[in-house]
Structure 1
C-alpha cells in the first residue's frame, strides 16, 4: 500500500512501534485482540486497529504539500480537511482559509475567489455542483483533490448499478459532507434517496410495499431524495451504498432488510433477487470495518472503562464510542487536555451533543484496566499524550520509556 509523508508532529514513536510489531506478526489481519501496555497498577489495552487511515493520510499529505509548494498564494479548503480539530487548526495556522462550515454554510463567498487561488477538496469529497462552480471560476479541482479513494469507490459502485437501472439507497447522515457528496454523484446517474438508519429504512419500505400512500414520501423524506423522484416507479429496483464512516453492521442490516422486503413483495428468492436488488457489499470501507472489528475484539477484555479519542464531529469516532458504550463506562475526548485530573474528566456526549464533566472516572483499585482506541482522523501523537497523562496518575507505574523499549 502507498505510504504518505505525514508531518512528524502527528506521529508517536510508541504507537508506530506497536503497529509495526502487530503488522509483522499478523500480516493477514486475522488477530483483532488488543495490545497490552502493562504499566503495573495501570494496564492499557490498545485496539488492534485505530488512528489515521489511508484516506486521511492521503489528504494530510496532499494538503501540507500544497501549502509548501504554493508560497504567496491564497489557499482555501472547501470545509474541514478531516474531522480532527488539531489538523484543521494546523492548516489554519499555515494560512489556509475555509470556504464553508461542515454543514455547507458559506464562510467565504465563491465570488471572492480568483482563478489563481488554490482550493483543496477535503477527504469527504464534494458535490458536482461545487466542482462546476470552481471550474467556472477557472480553478482546477483535480490537482488538489484529497477525496478518499474509498469514498470514490462508493461513487463508482453507484454509477455501475445505476447503469443497470437500479435506484440508489444511501445509508448516511444527510447533512454530513460525505453523504452530500455521495448523494450528488449518485443522483447524477440514477434516482437516489438517503436513509439515516434502519428505523427510517423501515418507513421507506412501506412505500415499496404500498403500506403507505406515495404522496406522503415527499414530506417524510424532504431533502433526502433526488430531483423528479417518482415513488411509484423508482423503488422497483434498488441497491444500497453507504457513507463510509457509518457502522458497517448497520449498513449491512439495512441492506439485508431491504433485500428481504424486495424478496417478499415481489416473490423472489436467491436465484432471481438480482432482478430487484443489487449486491453492493463491496462499498464498506476497509478502515471503518477494521477499526470497528478491533473495538469488538477489544471489548472481550475485562476492563474498568474505555476512552475513545477523536474529533467531536467525527462520524467514524462516534460509532466507536457507540460500540464501547454497550459494554462499559466510555469517555469520548478530543485530546489529553480533557483529562483534567486523576479524579475529573471532561468528555463529549455525542447523543445530546454536549460536553460534560465526570468525577471519579478512574476507579480506586490496585490495578486499573483501560481500553483505548481512536477515530480514523485522530493523530497517534494525541493518543500517546492521553496515555502519558493517565500514566502520570500512577506513581508506582513502570517508566514510560521502559515500556516503549519493549516494542522497539
Structure 2
C-alpha cells in the first residue's frame, strides 16, 4: 500500500516499532489479537489495528503540501479536514481557515472568497451543490481534493445501482459531513433516503410492506430523503450503502433486515431477490473493519478497563468506544493530558456530548491491565503519549524508550 509523507509530529517511534513487528508476524492481517506490552505492575493490551488510515494520511499529506507550496496565498478548508482537533489546529496555526463547521454552518461567507483562493475538500468529501458553488466563484473544487478513496467507492456503488433503478438507502448519521456528501451524490442519480440506525430501518420497512400509512413517511424522515421521493413507488427496489465509519455489524444487520422484508413482501426466493434488492456487498472501508475487528479481538482478553483515544466528534472512534463499553469501564479521551493522575481522568461521554471527571481511574491492585486503541484520525504520537502517561504513575516511563529502540 502507498506510503504518505505525514508530519513527524504525528509519528511515534514506539508505535511504529510495535506496528512493524506485528506486520512482520502477520502480513495477511488475519490475527486480530492485541499486542501485549508487559511492564510488570502495568499491562497494556494494544489493539492489533488502530490510528491513521489510508484516507487520513492521504488527506494530511495533500493539505500540508498545499500549505507549503502556496506561501502568501489564502487557503481554506470547507470544514474540518478530519475529526481530530490536533490536526485541525495545526492547520489553523498555519493560516488555513475553515469555511464551515462540521454541521455545515457557514463561518466565512461564500462571497468573501476570491478566484485565486485555494479551497481544500476534506477527507469526508463534499456535496455536488458545494462543488457547483465553488465553480461559480471561479474556484476549481477538485484541484485540492482530499476525499477518501473509500468514500468515493461508496458514491460509485450508489451510482451503479441507481442507474439500474434501485433506490439507495444510506446507513449513516444524517448530519455527518460524509453522509451529507454521499446523499448529495446518490440523489443526483436515484431516489435516496438516510437511516441512522436499526430503529429507523425498521420504520422504513413498515413503508415497504405497507403496515404504516405512506403519508407519515415525509414527517418521520424529514430532511432525510431526496426531493420528489415517492414512498409508494421508490421503496420497491432498493440497495443499502453506508457512511464508511459506521459499525460494520449494524450496517450488515440493516442490509440483511431490509433484504428479508423485501423478500417476504414480494414473495421472492434466493434466486429472485436480486430483482428488488441490490447486492451492494460491504461498503465499509478496510480501516473501519480492521479497527473494529481488532477491538473485538482485544475484548476477548481479561482487563480492568479500556482507553480509546481520538476526536470527540469522530464517528469511527465513537463506535470503538461503543464496543468497549459493552464489556469494560471505558475512557474516551482526545489527548494524554486528560489523564491527570492514577486516580483522576477527564473523559468524554459521547452519548450525552459532555466531558465528565472521574476520580476512580486506575484500580488499586498489584497488576493493572489496560486495553488501548485509537480512532482512524488519531496520530500515533498521542497513543504513545497515553502509554508514557500511564507508565509515569509507576515510575516506568523509561521502559517506553527501551521498547522503541529495541531490535
Matched, 1:382 2:379: no
In structure 2, how many angstroms separate the alpha carbons of the residues matched to 1:69 and 1:267?
A: 60
Q: How far apart are the structure 2 equivalents of 1:118 and 1:370?
A: 44
Where do 5+ consecutive residues of structure 2 fail to align?
Answer: none
Task: Give the equivalent residue in structure 1 for 2:119.
Answer: 119
SS in 1 for 2:303: coil
User: 2:76 is matched with which residue?
Assistant: 76
Q: How does 1:196-345 map to 2 (within 5 A)?
A: 196-345=196-345
Q: Which residue of 2 aligns with 1:3?
A: 3
Deviation of 1:402 after TM superposition, in Å, equals: 2.0
Q: 1:269 & 1:120 partners in 2: Cα distance?
A: 47
Note the C-alpha offset of 1:404.
2.3
Q: Deviations over 1:52-108 (max 9, x none)?
A: 000000000000000001000000000000000000000000000000000000000
In 2, are the aligned partners of 1:343 and 1:362 still within 8 Å (CA)?
yes
CA contact (8 A) 1:39 1:397 kept: no
C-alpha change, 1:128 and 1:397, in structure 2 (3 Å) is closer
Give the SS at the match of 1:15.
helix
Once the two structures are TM-superposed, the CA of residue 397 in structure 1 deviates from its matched residue by 7.3
User: Contact conserved, 1:40 with 1:397, CA < 8 A, in 2?
Assistant: no
SS at match of 1:399: helix
Deviates more, 1:14-23 or 1:216-225: 14-23
CA RMSD of aligned residues (A): 0.9
How far apart are residue 399 of structure 1 and its match? 2.4
| SS, match of residue 233 in structure 2 | helix
Asked if structure 2 preserves the Cα contact closer than 8 Å seen for 1:311 and 1:317, the reply is: yes
Aligned to 1:288, the other structure's residue is in SS state: helix
Moved more, 249-258 or 20-29: 20-29
Residue aligned with 1:233, SS: coil
Residue 160 of structure 1 corresponds to which residue in structure 2?
Answer: 160
2:311 and 2:283 map into 1 onto residues whose CA distance is 24
Which deviations, in whole Å up to 9, do the C-alpha atoms of 1:181-213 show, x marking residues without a partner?
000000000000000100010000000111011
**Offset, 1:128:** 0.2
**CA distance in structure 2 between the aligned counterparts of 1:399 and 1:9, rounded to whole angstroms:** 21
Offset at 1:396?
5.8
Instruction: Give 1:136's aligned residue.
Output: 136
CA deviation string 1:220-247 (max 9, x = no partner): 0000000000000100000000000000
What is the distance in 2 between the residues matched to 1:403 and 1:94?
34
TM-score calculated relative to the size of structure 1: 0.99
Question: Where does residue 366 of structure 1 map in the other structure?
Answer: 366
Please show how residues 44-63 of structure 1 align to structure 2 within 5 Å: 44-63=44-63
Alpha-carbon offset, residue 403 of structure 1: 2.4
d(CA) in 2 for partners of 1:3, 1:88:
21
How far did residue 303 of structure 1 move? Answer: 0.4
Native 8 Å contact 1:39 1:403 kept in 2: no
Could you state the TM-score of these two structures normalised by the residue count of structure 2?
0.99
CA contact (8 A) 2:252 2:282 kept: no
Q: Deviations over 1:96-148 (max 9, x none)?
A: 00000000000001111011000000000000000000011111122200000
Question: Structure 1: how far apart are the matches of 2:165 and 2:185?
Answer: 15
Partner Cα separation in structure 2 for residue 276 and residue 83 of structure 1: 37
In 1, the alpha carbon distance for the partners of 2:320 and 2:399 equals 29
**Partner-residue secondary structure (3-state), 1:278:** coil
**Residue 279 of structure 1, CA deviation:** 1.0
- Give runs of ≥4 in structure 1 deviating > 6 Å: none
- Measured in 2, the distance between the counterparts of 1:30 and 1:229 equals 43
Q: Please give the secondary structure, in 2, of the residue aligned with 1:292.
A: helix
Using the alignment, how far apart are the partners of 1:260 and 1:233 within structure 2? 18
- CA–CA separation in structure 1 for the residues paired with 2:250 and 2:170: 12
- Determine helix, strand or coil for the equivalent of 2:382: helix
Instruction: Name structure 1 gaps, 5 residues minimum.
Output: none
How far residue 395 of structure 1 moved from its aligned partner, in angstroms, is 2.3
Measured after TM superposition, the shift of residue 340 of structure 1 is 1.1
Aligned to 1:95: 95
* 1:253 Cα deviation from its structure 2 partner: 0.4
